[in-house]
Structure 1
């Protein structure tokens, strides 16, 4: 039971990290576009 729970927590953390990376990428692209328009 505990090992299964640990695995699910690991996958949750991994998914969260992936989402953070994507969010940073999106924010970076938006920032580049704003600077590009100037």
Structure 2
């Protein structure tokens, strides 16, 4: 299976809206968004 980073980025808002737990949201942000943005 191929893995699309763009699809992951697109899915992040859905993940965050499904899991309204700040700890989970922060963890997802640190794992996915910051590395992709080069921070």
Asked if Structure 1 and Structure 2 have the same fold, meaning a TM-score greater than 0.5 normalized by the shorter chain, the answer is: no
TM range (shorter): 0.3 to 0.5
Q: Which has the higher helix share?
A: 1
Give 1 or 2 for the bigger CA radius of gyration: 1
TM-score normalized with structure 2 length: 0.33
Higher relative contact order (CA 8 A, sep 6+): 2
